[in-house]
Structure 1
Amino acid sequence: MSEREDFVRRFGGVFEHSPWVAERAFDRAASVGLTAGNVHSALCNAFRAASPAERRAVLRAHPDLAGKLALAGKLTAASTVEQASAGLDRLSPEEHQRFTELNAAYMKKFGFPFIIAVKGLTKEDILAAFERRIDNSPEEEFETACAQVEQIARLRLRSMLPGEDNA
Structure 2
Amino acid sequence: MTARADFIERFGGVFEHSPFIAERAYDAGLIFVPLTAKGVHDALTSIFRRASYAERLGVLRAHPDLAGKLAIAGELTEESRKEQAGAGLDRLSPDEHARFTELNTHYMAKFGFPFIIAVKGLNKDDILAAFEKRIHNSVEDEFATAAAQVEKIALLRLTALLPETSK
TM surpasses 0.5 = yes
**Equivalents in 2 of 1:31, 1:121: separation in Å?**
32
1:88 is aligned to 89
Percent identity reads 68
Give the number of aligned pairs: 166
Quote how far apart the aligned CAs of 1:5 are. 1.1
Unaligned runs of 5+ residues in structure 2 are: none
Q: Secondary structure at the match of 1:30?
A: coil
Quote how far apart the aligned CAs of 1:30 are. 2.5
Q: Which amino acid aligns with 1:106?
A: Y
1:112 is aligned to 113
Q: Which amino acid aligns with 2:163?
A: P
Q: Taking structure 2 as the reference length, what is the TM-score of the superposition?
A: 0.96
2:21 is aligned to 21
Quote how far apart the aligned CAs of 1:40 are. 0.2
Quote how far apart the aligned CAs of 1:24 are. 0.7
2:36 is aligned to 35
The list of structure 1 runs, each at least 4 consecutive aligned residues, that deviate by more than 3 angstroms after superposition, is: none
Give runs of aligned pairs for residues 1-167 of structure 1, distance below 5 A: 1-26=1-26, 27-31=28-32, 33-164=34-165
* Cα-Cα RMSD: 1.3
Q: Secondary structure at the match of 1:90?
A: coil
**Equivalents in 2 of 1:161, 1:91: separation in Å?**
31
Q: Which amino acid aligns with 2:162?
A: L
Q: Which amino acid aligns with 1:8?
A: I
**Equivalents in 2 of 1:165, 1:107: separation in Å?**
39
8 Å contact kept, 2:36–2:164? no
**Equivalents in 1 of 2:144, 2:166: separation in Å?**
25
Q: Which amino acid aligns with 2:56?
A: R
Quote how far apart the aligned CAs of 1:2 are. 1.4
Q: Secondary structure at the match of 1:29?
A: coil
Unaligned runs of 5+ residues in structure 1 are: none
**Equivalents in 2 of 1:16, 1:38: separation in Å?**
19
Q: Which amino acid aligns with 1:51?
A: S
* Residues 92-139 of structure 1: per-residue CA shift (max 9 Å, x gap): 000000000000000000000000000000100000000000000000
**Equivalents in 1 of 2:99, 2:166: separation in Å?**
35
**Equivalents in 2 of 1:149, 1:124: separation in Å?**
20
* Residues 13-55 of structure 1: per-residue CA shift (max 9 Å, x gap): 0000000000011144324641110000000000000000000
